[in-house]
Amino acid sequence: MVIAERGWAEWAGDRSAKVLLSAMVYMILCGSTGRLLAQADARQTNGQQGTEVASAKAEERALPEAPQPVAMVVSAGAEVDRSAALTSGSSRHLLSEPPPSDGPTLGDLGLTPADIEGNAARQALFDRRTHMLKVHQKLGLITVLPVAAACLSSVGAPADKGNYSNTATRDLHVALGSVAVGMYAATASYAIRAPKVTGEPARGGVKWHKYLIYIHAPGMIMTPILGAMAYNQINSGQKVHGIASAHSGVAVATAASYGAAILAVSWPIHLKP
Amino acid sequence: MKKISLLAILLLTLPALRLLNAQSDQIWKLDQSSLTYHMSHPMHEVDATTRASLGKGVCRAGRCDFLIAAAVKTFDSGDSNRDLHMIQVTRGAQFPIVSVRLRLAQASLDSPTLDCDLEVQFAGNTAHYQHVLFQQKIEGAAHHITGVVPATLTDFKIDPPSFLTIPIKNEIPVRVDMIWKPL
């Protein structure tokens, strides 16, 4: 009986020792599996330095997760209050800092560094383009004034009932027309010299804005030429004749297409009450 | 002998089970999407949309991290001049990607309303929006999510562009319409 009890105790002792040993071996193996995976992935990561993709995959597979502040659902159905919704805003470059969590990275989405990296020189080109087009826009709007004034002053430009000596109103019309043409040229020069940032064809209102150039640009050249011819004919005591008689028609078409170009680039207009 | 065999089986199978468990992490992919920002001016109401956004979600240990990104240049308002101006104003050549990160509890993924805390990186700045509500409809494997991000220009330090010297409104809400599917 004593011998049997001693044997049982030895057997129990052996068994608990084996269980303990098994548990230890198991824990070591489990731990080493994870570490081996992590090391393998770390080697992969080293092979692709600078890419976020590899490091994210390594983290996904085996690395233990660091404690994270968990943003959990607090309440549903609440109205979005902008002042409450926006908590902070701070500068951070997309590439200069790692993602805030171990979630997916831009590389995981298939974006390449070329897609992600910014180009300061290209941004400068955009800035220059915008600056020049803003000047183009301002000058273009200001040019409406002399164009309109030239159109209005044209009423007094023809010889009044055969009186070819009265040149004051005609001279005023010539002066306003010259200012309009000069300002138009300055306006156009800013659009022409603005850097091109894309080779894609124009879409939307700007497309019609550009089509209308084919009307008002030749018109702005032809109108003063025809006007000068008409001016000379009147001053020499002749009735306006020949191609010079088209001066007013060309001028009206030019002014109309110029106005349409301004509207086109602003289209569609939704006036709010 | 039997005990040793049992021990050997345990030693071999349990780590394998652990690996299987690790592989059960859920991955989500953005299947279809449209992101539309709205710009308002006394003379203009403009919507610009991109359908070229990319997205991925990774669920692990009961929580899911999502990332959605789109190239700034892919937003189309129907007017190329306006879109190019938008890229300049938002410094889109220098910071070409707009990205949104959010984290959700995995258990909440099937609920009809998703309450999300968003981190939006845009124009070289980061803004955080808390408790933005999205509506969800689940059709088979597809999770159709809609909602509006209440973004503003000042959140991203963007100077408001103006037309006829009148600046656009500060609010540029972004309408979100996405279909996510698990991989």
Contact A104 B67 (CB under 8 A): yes
What mean pLDDT comes out for the span A185-211? 95
Task: With CB atoms and an 8 Å threshold, state whether B15 touches A29.
Answer: yes
More confident residue, A197 or A92: A197
Amino acid at B82: R
Q: What is the ipTM of this complex?
A: 0.83
Q: Using one digit for the tens of pLDDT, what is the confidence trace for A49-59? A: 333 333 333 33
Residue of higher predicted confidence among A70 and A174: A174
Show me where the domains of chain B are located: 25-182
**B181 vs A90, residue with greater confidence:** B181
Using CA coordinates, name the residue in chain B closest to A89: B127
C-alpha angle B121-B57-B130 in degrees, rounded to nearest 5: 45
Q: What is the pLDDT of residue A166?
A: 73
Q: Is pLDDT larger for residue B35 or for residue A97? A: B35
> Where would I find the H helices in chain B?
2-23, 80-89
Backbone φ, ψ for residue B34 (5° rounding)? -145, 125
Share of chain A above pLDDT 90, in %: 50
Q: What pLDDT is recorded for position A78?
A: 37
Buried b / exposed e over B76-110, threshold 16 CB at 10 Å, is bbebbbbbbbbbbbbbbbbbbbbbbbbbbbeebbe
**What does the pLDDT average to over B151-160?**
97
CA distance B120 to B67: 10
In DSSP notation, A95-145 reads TTS--SSSS--TGGGT--HHHHS--HHHHHHHHHHHHHHHHHHHHHHHHHH
| Domain range annotation of chain A | 123-266
CA dist B65 and A71 (Å) reads 10
What is the enclosing helix (H) or strand (E) of B133?
A: strand B125-139
Predicted confidence at residue A61, as pLDDT, reads 38
Q: Does A85 contact B132 at a Cβ distance shorter than 8 Å?
A: yes
B101–A108 C-beta distance less than 8 A: no
How far apart are the CA of A101 and the nearest CA of chain B, in angstroms?
A: 8
For A104-131, what is each residue's pLDDT tens digit?
A: 999 999 999 999 999 999 999 999 999 9
The CATH number of B25-182 is 2.40.128.110
Tokens 């008689």 label which residue?
A245
Q: Looking at the DSSP assignment, which residues form a beta bridge with residue B56?
A: B29, B67
- For residue A38, which amino acid is it? A
Q: Are B17 and B163 in contact (CB under 8 A)?
A: no
Strands B174-182 vs B166-167: parallel, antiparallel or unpaired: unpaired
Q: Is B105 helix (H, G, I), strand (E, B) or coil?
A: strand
CB B135 within 8 A of CB B146: yes
By C-alpha distance, the chain B residue nearest A79 is B133
Q: Which two tokens stand for residue B23?
A: 């592989």
Asked if A252 contacts A151 with a C-beta cutoff of 8 angstroms, the reply is yes
In the prediction, which pLDDT does B16 show?
52
Mean pLDDT for the stretch of residues A138-154: 96
> Which among B8, B130, B93 is positioned nearest to A118, based on CA atoms?
B93
Chain A residues with beta carbon closer than 8 angstroms to that of B157: 89, 91
Residue A249 has a CB neighbour count (10 Å cut-off) of 11
Q: What one-letter code names the amino acid at B85?
A: H
Distance of alpha carbon A50 from alpha carbon A44, whole angstroms: 12
Of B14, B93, B131, the CB nearest to A26: B14
Nearest neighbour of B97 by CB, restricted to A26, A91, A94? A94
Q: Is the pLDDT score of A93 beyond 60?
A: no
The answer to whether A82 faces chain B, any CB pair under 8 Å, is yes
Q: Is A65 close to B67, i.e. CB distance below 8 A?
A: no
Among residues A209, A125, A132, A199, the alpha carbon closest in space to that of B88 is found at: A125
Task: Collect all residues with Cβ–Cβ distance below 8 Å to B17 and sequence separation of at least 6.
Answer: none
Estimate to the nearest angstrom the gap between the alpha carbon of A88 and the chain centroid. Answer: 24
The answer to whether residue A91 scores a pLDDT higher than 50 is no
Tokens linked to A18: 């084996």
Closest Cα in chain B to A263: B43
pTM to 2 decimal places: 0.72
The per-residue pLDDT for A36 is 39
pLDDT (tens digit per residue) in B5-61 = 666 665 555 555 444 444 458 999 999 999 999 999 999 999 999 999 999 999 999
Interface contact B80-A203, CB threshold 8 A: yes
- Does A72 contact chain B (CB < 8 Å)? yes
The yes-or-no verdict on residue A141 having pLDDT over 60 is yes
